């Protein structure tokens, strides 16, 4: 990847989008959704979460979805794990990327995974050891996510220094990527610059990813600010799925299609075919209802005479 021209956009909808939706999406539909996005050029997809199925029945098929997604050629399969036990399930399948998440907000971490933040951070060390003991070093990448890094429903603003210190801990412990998340959609571009600059100063050559929610409309503005800081990995979800706490149509994660349009329009290459990506909306729409999906590009369509970044690059050579 060339940081001047290439951006990695990752689909979170099957995990972050579905985790709060009680309607069970059939396993075959999940796989069709993954396949449709892979066919559109999405190369990295978080396909499920290894949480106890009793807590989130939506992920009762975590093993099957993961195994079958891993059979799809060209796809990097990512799964979320909330703790060592979840990680062990992922390691048993040899998942390509294990995404461990801890909340920077102590209160949020307690509410979310019922343990102290420091206990979760220490857990990551054990996850690294377990990965290495399973002989997966160099095969299973360990990503570490900082949830509520840009604000928390319980604690409000989070001190930048807390984010920086958690990032440093995880990098030191062996994380191969740091993901900084605005879990509740509180962030603004100025804050994004402050937080990402602090994290990037701490993490050196380690890739840093941004995970924004569009709860208050600032999602793509925050992406633009993170791009300015040099971030080139972004999480999103098809149709902005993930906003079921609010009214239908309220977006959760930033909308994948709108993100890809903005990046492409800026001349950054995602490798994703916008028309195919838009067509993929039909799959979750069929199971969750079209009103569950938001997205400006889906309503308005591409600009007339639109040339993709690749077409424009070709035209100037």
Catalytic machinery residues:
244
Q: How far is the CB of 243 from a second copy (least distance, A)?
A: 8
Q: Identify the residue among 28, 303, 313, 314 touching a second copy (CB under 8 A).
A: 303
Return d(Cα 144, Cα 150) in angstroms, integer. 16
Work out whether 300 is an interface residue with a second copy (CB under 8 A).
Answer: yes
**Per the structure block, which two tokens stand in for 22?**
């009680």
Work out whether 255 is an interface residue with a second copy (CB under 8 A).
Answer: yes
Of 265, 287, 202, which is closest to residue 18 (Cα–Cα)? Answer: 287
Q: Which residues of 146-175 are buried (b: 16+ CB within 10 A; e: fewer)?
A: bbbbbbbeebeebebebbbebbbbbbebbb
**CA distance between the termini of the chain:** 20
Return d(Cα 249, Cα 288) in angstroms, integer. 12
Work out whether 223 is an interface residue with a second copy (CB under 8 A).
Answer: yes
Q: How far is CA 284 from CA 1, 24, 36, 241, 299, in A?
A: 30, 11, 11, 9, 16
**Which listed range, 84-92, 141-149, 222-230, 275-283, lies at the site for a second copy (CB under 8 A)?**
222-230
Work out whether 111 is an interface residue with a second copy (CB under 8 A).
Answer: no
Q: Identify the residue among 63, 162, 176, 188 touching a second copy (CB under 8 A).
A: 188
Work out whether 197 is an interface residue with a second copy (CB under 8 A).
Answer: no
Q: How far is the CB of 238 from a second copy (least distance, A)?
A: 14
Q: Identify the residue among 214, 237, 277, 281 touching a second copy (CB under 8 A).
A: 214
Return d(Cα 50, Cα 62) in angstroms, integer. 6
Work out whether 4 is an interface residue with a second copy (CB under 8 A).
Answer: no
Binding residues (CB under 8 A) for a second copy: these are 151, 153-157, 184-186, 188-191, 214-218, 220-221, 223-225, 227, 246-247, 249-251, 255, 258, 261-262, 265-267, 295-297, 299-300, 303-306
């Amino acid at each position: 990847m060339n940081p001047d021209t290439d951006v990695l956009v990752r689909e979170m909808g099957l995990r972050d989008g579905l985790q709060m939706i009680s309607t069970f999406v059939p396993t075959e539909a999940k796989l069709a959704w993954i396949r449709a996005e892979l066919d559109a050029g999405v190369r990295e997809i978080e396909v499920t979460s290894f949480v106890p199925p009793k807590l989130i029945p939506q992920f009762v098929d975590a093993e099957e979805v993961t195994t079958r997604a891993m059979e799809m050629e060209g796809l990097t399969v990512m799964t979320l794990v909330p703790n060592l036990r979840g990680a062990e399930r992922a390691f048993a399948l040899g998942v390509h990327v294990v995404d461990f998440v801890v909340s920077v907000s102590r209160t949020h971490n307690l509410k979310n995974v019922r343990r102290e933040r420091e206990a979760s951070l220490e857990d990551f060390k054990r996850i690294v050891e377990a990965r290495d003991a399973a002989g997966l070093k160099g095969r299973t990448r360990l990503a570490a996510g900082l949830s509520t890094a840009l604000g928390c429903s319980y604690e409000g603003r989070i001190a930048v220094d807390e984010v920086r210190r958690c990032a440093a801990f995880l990098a030191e412990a062996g994380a191969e990527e740091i993901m900084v998340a605005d879990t509740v959609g509180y962030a603004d571009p100025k804050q994004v610059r402050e937080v990402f600059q602090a994290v990037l100063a701490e993490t050196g050559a380690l890739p840093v990813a941004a995970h924004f929610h569009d709860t208050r409309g600032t999602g793509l503005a925050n992406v633009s600010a993170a791009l300015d800081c040099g971030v080139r990995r972004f999480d999103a979800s098809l149709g902005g799925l993930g906003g079921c706490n609010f009214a239908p149509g309220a977006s959760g994660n930033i909308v994948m299609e709108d993100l890809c349009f903005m990046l492409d329009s800026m001349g950054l290459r995602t490798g994703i075919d916008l028309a195919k990506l838009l067509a993929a909306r039909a799959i979750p729409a069929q199971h969750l209802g079209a009103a569950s999906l938001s997205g400006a590009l889906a309503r308005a369509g591409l600009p007339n005479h639109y040339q993709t970044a690749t077409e424009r690059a070709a035209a100037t050579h």
